[in-house]
Structure 1
């Protein structure tokens, strides 16, 4: 089967129990595309810059610089998220990255991405939530 834009990875498309593409609704196909993009963003944002020999710019840089203020850190992380997504996820056009403090998770960094994503031949505005956990520095894409 030839590769179509945004249908997930090769392994996702080889799942034997998956319904044929032509039997799924337009809404199901759009939801699958958004879900595939979110999974890919999670892979990108959980990579660390310099750890991939074949793609040294992949991922986020290390933000353990203690001399930086919190506002400067949020600005730097926001720019870094935008640059990583722009470079490694061509299906997403990042319009804005907003820091969103969460009082229930004071040590985590929370962001909201406003993006344009091509879905079913039109560009849809999609908001994606990111949480970078303090202890393990794992990024969850919601």
Structure 2
């Protein structure tokens, strides 16, 4: 196994992608697309972890929907802020992030959030937007 010091620090891949060697070198535009896909995979893992489930980082994850409903009426605001803080804290490849409620009025029980994030790779910077929806099992899914 190659040493950790041999890996590039500015790589577009997450640590696990680099360990699995799933990142061929290509053009800067393709690298940016690869970076965005890698970030989405990482966020899928991070956002579906609940605080306290990771011994090395107890604050990793997003509060459970049931925990968000306690002590206040602004459930969506609490969850938006929890998602934003989690992304800022545990996804260093994102420079700036905004999270907004994008739920529909026709189905108020469906929780959906719009995430806008700035991703920077060398001289290229791209704003990525994606939706996160909570499924029936209270897992966050990238849409």
Measured against the shorter chain, the TM-score band is 0.7 to 0.9
- 1:6-21 to structure 2, matched below 5 A, reads 6-13=11-18, 20-21=24-25
TM-score between the two structures when normalised by the length of structure 2: 0.80
1:127 and 1:37 mapped to 2: Cα distance? 12
After superposition, the CA RMSD in angstroms is 2.4
CA contact (8 A) 1:50 1:57 kept: yes
Structure 1 residues 19 and 66 mapped into 2: Cα distance closer, same or farther (>3 Å)? closer
TM-score between the two structures when normalised by the length of structure 1: 0.80
Unaligned 5+ runs, structure 1: none
1:9 and 1:128 mapped to 2: Cα distance? 19
Q: Which of 10, 13, 17 is matched with 1:5 structurally? A: 10
Deviation per residue, 1:21-63 (Å, 9 max, x gap): 1xx2322111101000111111110000111111100001122
**What's 2:54 paired with?**
52
Unaligned 5+ runs, structure 2: 1-5
Deviation per residue, 1:62-84 (Å, 9 max, x gap): 22136643xx0000000100111
Once the 2 structures are TM-superposed, how far is the Cα of residue 122 of structure 1 from its aligned partner?
Answer: 2.9
